[in-house]
Amino acid sequence: MSREVSGAKEIETHFARVLRVLDIELICAHSPQARGRVERANEVIQDRLIKEMRLRKISTIEDANKFLPEFIEEYNWKFGIEPRDEEDAHRSVRKEDDLERIFARRTVRKLSKSLSFQYEGKCYQLHPANPNRFRSSYVNILERTGKPLLVESGSQELPYTIRAEIPNENPIVLDSKQLEAHWPKKKIKKPIKYHPWR
């Protein structure tokens, strides 16, 4: 679950966010009949489809893709129900819909005073044009398949560099006798020759 900086709901799944951006209504299966249909479809896909492919000795993705149209036609013949309204409610993709950006996984991070944040074991340093307005603010991290991370605040993309990897080492547990030896030692400055406390 994630939240967006732009003011969306704080608790929202990735799937629900994509539907909201694309202006698609999510109809959940609240009734037992609807849940039964969903569970039946899941059982067919997870159980019958696998067994059918095994009986036909299908073991590659290419063969499975060739078999799917035949399986879908047989499944619709057995379990398909004629709709009350034949009108097609699908619509084409709008010009302003950037599907790669919409389907990207989003995560929110809070920036430190140095305009850095941690993500997936690495430390990222931002380099915005106006650094002061981003201190201790939140940024959206967009994770796209096969592409570098996209960091943005609102609709503004922010440049960044990867500072260093954060070591994932097991912490050293010390007892009270060993603790003092690991404290950082301060250098004692020697007072000047004519200091009044000397």
More confident residue, 114 or 67: 67
* Buried-state track 13-50, b at ≥16 Cβ within 10 A, e below 16: eeeebbeebeeeeeeeeeeeeeeeeeeeeeebeeeebe
pLDDT 10s digits, 104-162: 888 888 888 888 888 888 888 888 877 777 777 888 899 888 888 888 887 788 888 88
pLDDT 10s digits, 35-54: 888 888 888 888 888 888 99
Domain layout of the chain by residue ranges:
31-79, 104-165
Stated pTM of the model: 0.51
Q: Is 117 exposed, middle or buried (0-12, 13-18, 19+ CB in 10 A)?
A: buried
pLDDT band at 180 (very low <50, low <70, confident <90, very high): low
Structure tokens at 83: 């709709």
- The amino acid present at 170, given as its one-letter code, is N
Structure tokens at 127: 């380099």
Using DSSP's 3-state secondary structure scheme, residue 151 falls into strand
